[in-house]
Structure 1
Amino acid sequence: MSWSRLARDDAQLRVFDGGSGFPVVFQHGLGGDEAQVRGNFPDEPAVRRLTVECRAQGESTAGSTRPFSIAMFADDVLAAADAHGARRFVAGGISMGAAIALRLAIYHPERVAALILARPAWVDTPAPANMRPYAEVAALLARMSPSEAKVAFEASATGRLLAREAPDNLVSLLGFFDRPDPALTATLLGDIAADGPGVTGGDLAAIRVPTLVIGHGVDFAHPLAHAEALAARIPGARLAVIPPKATDKAGHVAAFRSAVATFLDQILPSLESSS
């Protein structure tokens, strides 16, 4: 396995390239990093995994280009695939990473051999209601100190709702208040919460590659209804409903890995024979 740096505009992106076999480009969620992917990705079957830590996340720098967007991150991922010689690959990701993968499949269909959409936070519209808590965190960070903003968010109607109905989401959101650059974090969260993958229902219906969608309940940020909608609208897509992360983290991770491993086991023989 190896790490490298990729210059994009004035940003420096950290890229993981590990394993051998058919390439799988798998992306983290908003505010995540390669470790999030590593913690959920199966050890088998043998594949070559590439993960780009998106701008202002992990150990990648932010650069000066604004706004941050899913389109920007998708372009960065494609540039990393080019730099690493991955001409055709399985595209996948978690949450924001799923949106990046979906955009790649629609805008660059010649590059994407299969698709894995895990815990999707978007379907085909920008700024969905489930992303509003991220926008609220961004707004608080933009006008308060991190400690004051954290207290205000926990006490807000959204904070109380998440504490009752999606505690795992609340823990994740509270972590943003502890990041080292509050202004940058506010910009990142605000920009992405207002964005979307830039696709239409017609685009979804036109996808013609094997697709796995993974969803679960007890998750305000990643509604099971989003996973169900994508699976229903992408022809031939398979839906895997796994245990909620909030109530059974070990079972969630095991089922996530199993779903991805089973899907890859089923599609890799044909992909490898055609490559």
Structure 2
Amino acid sequence: MTDTAVLLPGTGSDDVFIRSVFTVPLTAAGVTLVAPEPVPGPDLGHRHRLSLDAAFDAHGPVLAGGISFGAHLAAEWACAHPSRCAGLLLALPAWHGSPVDCPASVAARHSASLVQRDGLDATLASAAADVPTWLADELSRAWRRHGSGLVDSLLAAADRPAPTLGQLAALDIPVGIAAVRDDPLHPASVAAQWAAAIPGAELRSLSFADFGADRSALGRAAVEAWQASAANAKAGPPSR
């Protein structure tokens, strides 16, 4: 089992949030977390994939994954380079294939247009009125870190296709998927579709209230699912 995990942030998010979600559960599993900083702009996805390539060059096959857009990118990389990926930790996948009018994609495009029209401060103030305080604080920190590249970062994530269910079905590695049951932007039904498509994948879910009370609860769900998937793969198919 790999001892290095490279995990990527979601749309407009950052490595700080990744660490808040995954550091504790990965440490408990004996895995070292690498959380690359986002490089804001239209090449956001490409730069994140380069960080996965660099980790493979340094460590050999790694456990890859992320949250939302980061989960999409990690799965995309695993599908393209199966020998480089030892497993996947996928939290809150938002769509498969083309984003079309998926809620998270629509929300990212809407946020980008508001930042362009009204500016960052006004957009954050509006967003804060509709989300819990902890999430408003996360958005404020991460979006300000993206700076002038925020709009391009949001659009890069919103418009990028995720792997199709057919591509996911070709994966042959341990995969843990975590869903938040009542997250409207990342429907639990999408996570269930990913889990059903990937052979041997395990799915765990939690409530948004649990996630809000303890960010690491999401990471713990993904890690536990991955460990179960790895254990099942090691045990092999049941005897008949």
Query: Residue 28 of structure 1 corresponds to which residue in structure 2?
Result: 9
Aligned length: 230
Q: What secondary structure, in the 3-state scheme, does the structure 1 residue paired with 2:28 have?
A: coil
Which structure ranks higher in relative contact order (CA pairs < 8 Å, sequence separation ≥ 6)?
2
Tell me the alpha carbon deviations over residues 96-142 of structure 1, each in whole angstroms, 9 at most, x when there is no partner: 21111111110010111111111112322234333211111101111
1:180: how far off? 6.3
Q: Which of 48, 58, 64 is the matching residue for 2:32?
A: 48
Q: Distance in 2 between matches of 1:97 and 1:266?
A: 20
2:168 to 204, 207, 225: 204
The whole-number CA distance in structure 2 between the counterparts of 1:169 and 1:220 is 17
Preserved contact between residue 38 and residue 48 of structure 2 (Cα < 8 Å): no
> What TM-score do the two structures reach when normalised by structure 1?
0.70
Q: State whether residues 132 and 193 of structure 1, in contact with CA within 8 Å, keep that contact through their aligned partners in structure 2.
A: yes
Q: Which of the residues 214, 219, 225 maps onto 2:183?
A: 219
In structure 1, which of residues 100, 103, 108 is the aligned counterpart of residue 73 of structure 2? Answer: 100
Give unpaired runs (5+ residues) of structure 1.
Answer: 1-20, 57-61
1:243 paired with 2:216, answer no
- TM-fit CA distance, 1:267: 3.2
1:4-23 matches, cutoff 5 A = 22-23=3-4
Higher share of residues assigned strand: 1
Looking at structure 2, the residues matched to 219 and 101 of structure 1 have their Cα atoms a distance apart, in angstroms, of: 21
Cα RMSD for the two superposed structures: 3.3
Q: Which has the larger radius of gyration?
A: 1
Structure with higher helix content: 2
2:83 partner SS: coil
Distance 1:225 1:253, change over 3 A: same
Change (3 A) 1:170 1:194: farther
CA deviation vs aligned residue, 1:54-87 (integer Å, no higher than 9, x gap): 212xxxxx5xxxx3353x134322332145x122
Match of 1:80 among 54, 62, 67: 54
Q: Answer yes or no: is 1:233 the counterpart of 2:206.
A: no
CA shift, 1:254, in A, is 3.2
Q: Could you say which residue in structure 2 is the equivalent of 1:123? A: 96
Q: Per the alignment, in what secondary structure is the counterpart of residue 111 of structure 2?
A: helix
State the SS of the aligned residue for 2:172: coil
Cα distance 1:218–1:167, how it changes in 2: closer, same or farther (>3 A)? farther
Q: Does 1:39 align with 2:23?
A: no
- 1:189 deviates by 0.9
Q: Secondary structure at the match of 1:53?
A: coil
Distance change in 2, residues 1:216/1:178 (3 Å): closer
The match for 2:153 among 164, 188, 198 is 188
Question: Which residue number corresponds to residue 179 of structure 1?
Answer: 144
What is the identity, as a one-letter code, of the residue corresponding to 2:60?
R
Give the letter aligned to residue 249 of structure 1: G
Q: Percent same amino acid at aligned positions? A: 29
SS of corresponding position for 2:43: coil
Deviation at 1:239, TM superposition (A): 0.8
Q: 1:260 aligns with which of 223, 231, 238?
A: 223
Looking at structure 1, the residues matched to 146 and 37 of structure 2 have their Cα atoms a distance apart, in angstroms, of 17
SS in 2 for 1:54: coil
Cα gap change, 1:263 to 1:206, in 2 (>3 Å)? closer
Other structure's SS at 1:132 match: helix
> For residues 7 and 61 of structure 2, what CA distance do their matches in structure 1 show?
13
Q: 2 CA distance for matches of 1:147 and 1:23?
A: 37
**TM-score when scaled to structure 2?**
0.79
User: What secondary structure is seen at the aligned counterpart in 2 of 1:241?
Assistant: strand
Runs of at least 5 residues in structure 2 that lack an aligned partner in the other structure: 235-240
Q: Distance in 2 between matches of 1:188 and 1:150?
A: 16
